[in-house]
Amino acid sequence: MNAILGIFTALFSVVNPLGAVPLFLSLTADNTNVLKKQQALKACIYFAVILITFLMIGTYILNFFGITIDSMKIAGGLIIIRSGYDLMGGTYKKGRAINEKVEAEAIEKEDISFSPLAMPMLAGPGSISLLISMAAESTSYTTYFHIVAAILLLGMVTYLIFLFSPKLFHLLGRSGISALSRIMGFIVITIGIQFIVSGTTHIISDLLK
């Protein structure tokens, strides 16, 4: 359970479903409560499927392109740091490639569950690179089970956050959610730095041998 919670915490910080609440509310403002629940459920299912898929094929992606795990950690760390910087700077949507044109297109769509909610809003480059690195370091099926369990738990928590998003937004307000996002941003930057340090340390160690 401790391993699952540790992975869940890292993923939750990088994904930051609380930061997606304002966008979810704005894109579903004209929807009925039933439709909002359907969109939230489908988005979280898509999100979990995307992350599990990248977890399962992560090692094959690295092998196909001849990328070492250390290089992946450094590149992923840079992406995660950028994501954390966007959170701290209040530019969460920009860091997820969500601009006015994307929002306008999404408003006209009947189904926004896959795009832009599941991807890139929830399953972005940071969370995907984190999972690929985890997959490359996994040495047993037990570790994979822990990661999958953490992803499913995150999907359920994200669904609950979307489900109660009107109450959360009313309780916290835009400033409260922004403050939480900034705190998450600091944690995300720390995770990114840890990835870079780990990858760099291994590379230097190999060169010195």
- Are 55 and 147 spatial neighbours (Cβ–Cβ below 8 Å)? yes
The values of phi and psi at residue 78, to 5°, are: -65, -40
Residue 20 gets which letter from DSSP? G
| Interatomic CA distance for residues 23 and 44, integer angstroms | 15
Residue 103 confidence (pLDDT) above 70: no
What is the pLDDT, as a whole number, of residue 181?
A: 78
- Residue 190's domain comprises 2-208
| Interatomic CA distance for residues 145 and 122, integer angstroms | 21
Residue 93 confidence (pLDDT) above 60: no
Percentage above 90 pLDDT, the chain: 20
What average pLDDT is seen over the chain? 84
| Between residues 108 and 72, the one the model is more confident about | 72
* Residue located via tokens 């954390």: 84
Nearest residue to 58 via CA among 73, 45, 44: 73
Alpha helices in 97-164 (DSSP H): 100-108, 125-137, 141-163
What's the number of domains the chain is made of?
A: 1
Q: Given pLDDT bands bounded at 50, 70 and 90, which one contains residue 104?
A: low
Tell me the pTM: 0.84
What is the pLDDT, as a whole number, of residue 92?
A: 57
CA 200 to chain centre: 24
Percentage above 70 pLDDT, the chain: 90
pLDDT tens, position by position, 124-140: 888 888 888 888 777 78
Q: Given pLDDT bands bounded at 50, 70 and 90, which one contains residue 156?
A: very high
- Name which of 39-43, 100-104, 159-163, 198-202 the model is least confident about: 100-104
Nearest residue to 87 via CA among 172, 187, 161: 187
